[in-house]
Amino acid sequence: MTTTSICTIGDEILIGQIVDTNSSGIARSLEDSGVRVSRMVSLGDNTEEIISVLSEELSHNDIVIATGGLGPTKDDITKAALAKLSGSKEYYEDERQLKVINRILSSRGLEMLDINKAQASVPDTCEVIVNNLGTAPIMVFRFPEERFGHKATLYSMPGVPFETMGALPDVIQDIRKHNSTSDIFHKCLMVYGLAESALSKLIEPWEDALPEDMHLAYLPNPLTGIRLRLSIYGGVKQEEEERIDRQFSQLLPYLGDMVYSFADDTLENAIGALFRGTGMTLSAAESCTGGKISSLITSVPGASEYYLGSVTSYAIAVKEKVLGVPPEVISEHGVVSEEVAMAMAKGVRELTGSTYSVATTGLAGPGGDDRNPVGTVCIGVAGPKGCTALKVRYSNDRKRNIERFTATALDTLRKYVINDLKS
């Protein structure tokens, strides 16, 4: 199978000044095209390091895709490093890229400077794939078998994500033209309600019985739970899809209602699937989650069909005056309590006239109160048949606690509605 290494070049990545989105975008496109990514490497703006790292990657992979360091300024040194790596003796001007540069500058009312024109000049050891969205061309260096022990190709792409992703289809087409590719199939199952270690222990018998050519990955995320991904490299896509479906069907008895999707999905999408087209409506009352539940629900296209709105009742006065939470309930049980969470859910349901509602009250941190430790959240859900509440404690920082509070609230709502509709 053809393997690839993705290398990002630039000090700005290493010091955390910008986030490397190129690698993930390139990796997804390569996997979809039947090319396996074996490594991702980030390196700084240093000529010798660029040559050394890229040589190492080329010796272990059929393809290396490098991004960054191709701008018009003096600190962009990748082109010179690649010229040295490939043994270039001189440069030539690519007329096709020069036309693109001229078009871009003219559209911005700018004149062509020498540093702009120089971007169309490339080492004589490379081929050019035109970058129609920017001034730096994609340079393709093909190395013979004797150089690295196998034929290898290096693609040098610009670092601007918009340009990189725009040129990627042309790069993929070139890769498929010069390399053998095979089907790579991934399928995901989404689980919420267990820690990764507990989930692994629970499904251990199923995992131990997986065929050798199936690879399982646990991919946790505080807002979505755990993504279980099964992968098969090679084979026929339709056949492998059916095989993975059979394996996942055997997993359901272990997990029950903790499974909320058989796709790479989110809890808010699962909520949308439950409500859309049913005539049922939803509202939220949020304290400790500060509007995050509402934000996630409304991020789903078409949410206006079922989502009526929310009250961010951060202050006790708002809980009492807007949501109608009785003061004596707060004084008796505390503001972070199942009783208050249920009262909030009932209050916002009555206020909006929604079919169902969800509410949160908790302590995200850094401090707790005299009744509950930091990380405690109480979730209330109300519907036509009554109300329920759940109290949970997490041990994370404030940001992560809020994410976990939100996800748990969505999952509690999901399970409540499903059970309510069954009864």
Percent of the chain at pLDDT > 90 equals 81
pLDDT average, residue stretch 30-43? 88
Cα torsion 54, 26, 295, 269 to 10°: value is -140
pLDDT, residue 1, reads 74
Which is the CATH superfamily of the domain at 3-178?
MoaB/Mog-like domain (3.40.980.10)
Per-residue DSSP letters for 358-412? Answer: EEEEE--SS---SSS-TTEEEEEEEETTEEEEEEEE--S-HHHHHHHHHHHHHHH
pTM of the model: 0.73
Over residues 171-186, mean pLDDT: 85
* Rounded CA separation 282/343 (Å): 16
Alpha carbons 304 and 357: distance in angstroms, whole number = 15
CA distance to 74, 131, 135, 260, 287, per residue, from 105 (Å):
20, 14, 9, 50, 51
Per-residue model confidence (pLDDT) at position 369: 86
Using 50, 70 and 90 to split pLDDT, how confident is the model at 368?
Answer: confident
The token pair at 325 is 């939470």
Burial of 11 (0-12, 13-18, 19+ CB in 10 A): middle
Q: Provide mean pLDDT across the span 217-231.
A: 93
Query: Which pLDDT value is given to residue 367?
Result: 83
Q: Measure the CA–CA gap between 1 and 234, rounded to whole angstroms.
A: 8
- Give the pLDDT mean for 14-29: 89
Write the DSSP symbol of residue 113. P
How many other C-beta atoms can be found within 10 angstroms of the C-beta atom of residue 211?
A: 10
Residues 199-217, mean pLDDT to the nearest whole number: 94
Asked whether residue 32 carries a pLDDT value surpassing 80, the answer given is: no
pLDDT for residue 175 is more than 90: yes
Asked whether residue 237 carries a pLDDT value surpassing 70, the answer given is no
When pLDDT is cut at 50, 70 and 90, the band that residue 163 belongs to is very high
Arithmetic mean of pLDDT, 293-310: 98
Q: Enter the CATH code of domain 267-422.
A: 3.90.950.20
Residues 6+ apart with CB under 8 A from 9: 42, 43, 44, 45, 50, 66, 67, 68, 69, 78, 159
Overall average pLDDT of the 402-422 stretch: 97
Beta bridge partners of 8: 42, 67
- Banded model confidence at residue 382, pLDDT cuts 50, 70, 90: very high
**Residue 240: what pLDDT?**
82
Query: Quick check: 357 pLDDT over 80?
Result: yes
Mean pLDDT of the chain: 93
Residue 74: the pLDDT is 62
* 256 Rama class: left (phi>0) / alpha (psi -120 to 50) / beta: left
Fold exhibited by the domain 184-261: Alpha-Beta Plaits (3.30.70)
Band (185; pLDDT cuts 50, 70, 90): confident
In the chain, where the domains are located: 3-178, 184-261, 267-422
- Per-residue pLDDT, averaged over 336-365, amounts to 98
User: Strands 121-123 and 91-93, how do they pair?
Assistant: antiparallel
